[in-house]
Amino acid sequence: MSRAFLVVMDSVGIGGAPDAAAFFNDGTPDTGANTLGHIARACAEGRAEEGRSGPLAVPHMRALGLGAALELASGEDLLAGPEPAGLWGAATEVSRGKDTPSGHWELAGLPVPWDWHYFPDAVPAFPEELRVAVRAAAGTEGLLAECHGSGTVMLDRFGEAHLQTGWPICYTSADSVFQIAAHEDRFGLDRLLTLCETVAPILHQMKVGRVIARPFVGAPGAFRRTKNRRDYAIAPPKPVLTDWVQGAGGRVIGVGKISDIFSATGIDESRTGTDEELMAHLESLVDEAPDGALVFANFVEFDSLWGHRRDLSGYARALEWFDRGIGALLPRLRDCDLLCLTADHGNDPTWIGTDHTRERVPVLMAGRGAGALGQIGFSDVAASVAAHLGVTNAGAGRSVL
């Protein structure tokens, strides 16, 4: 009986989005952004040499068609190689967002049916009624930041004041998010998670996609975020791939923040941790997942550690590490398994600003032969996984298998 492993390389875009001009970073349109292409070019030109060296080495994903997908999406032939041994294509998103929920929901068969709410780039960025509600839920007289900003910058700017006052640090970005940072010792991790859970319904009613708990530790000048992040996402309004599989009797195992992204919709089991720990979970699930199972994984550190921080070398190192992990998995797949590698948006580390970039994403499939899929939609990924597992596709896409 078939199994499916759907693995999202968070933010590994391949350029070429036809509507990139409608999305912005610091007022500059995303036209020309190309996460993978620009990383590969920088590596080839010797501009990504910290902790690694030379051209980008991702032989296992190249063999599945990563270079071919990059060229199809954006015309860049920087990872050209032999004839791909897998199915490969480039997927285009239709949802009006370049964030995690938009990409994942559509990959799971549900284009976002509304426009997300985004906060203005002003100080304060949040309406007074929301600020009052957050203060009441936190039990504090005030809030810190209340603006747009990068998480690590927020800690540098407001971390010391947070230790002194105990007030939570509240901020947002170009995504539809409301983020709350607090010190695990000074404020308390459980208190932070309770705060986020309490205010999340208010934000969801506003059509804000996620409330994110951002716990951190350390002292001024040496603050660092911990792995205890939690995302409180708005629930999908219709059944998605995880529900289809669960409803057909298959087991659905989320790896990484999948359960958070879908508000645990259709998830039987969740395994979390660092990306290194997630790769270990994926390895064990190749051996342990039952027949009919869907393993749905998200590797977030491409995005959170390297893309947002515009770290070329770090992103290249992460891609090469991930490729080695996938290379170790491929020979262990069973005859009836499907492994699908894809992404949810871009986050070009060469680009202006610190936000996601609007891009097409690769779709690479192992276990169902070889060939070109062409230009497809995000929802076609869900339809294809459903077809492989023999469950009904209740979404917007069509199977390419």
Structure tokens at 59: 């032989």
Structure tokens at 158: 């407001």
For tokens 């891609």, what's the residue? Answer: 319
Structure tokens at 270: 């969740």
Residue 344 annotated as part of some ligand binding site: yes
Taking alpha carbons only, the member of 151, 139, 142, 157 closest to residue 177 is: 151
* Helix %, strand %, coil % of the chain (to 5): 35, 20, 45
d(CA 276, CA 281): 9
For tokens 């169902």, what's the residue? Answer: 368
Taking alpha carbons only, the member of 107, 10, 90, 102 closest to residue 362 is: 90
d(CA 170, CA 213): 10
Structure tokens at 267: 């998830």
Structure tokens at 284: 């064990």
Q: Are 256 and 299 in contact (CB under 8 A)?
A: yes
d(CA 372, CA 363): 10
Taking alpha carbons only, the member of 401, 392, 376, 345 closest to residue 175 is: 345
d(CA 94, CA 396): 11
Residue 308 annotated as part of some ligand binding site: yes
Q: Are 340 and 310 in contact (CB under 8 A)?
A: no
Residue 10 annotated as part of some ligand binding site: yes
Binding site listing: 10, 303, 308, 344-345, 356
Binding site listing for Mn(2+): 10, 303, 308, 344-345, 356
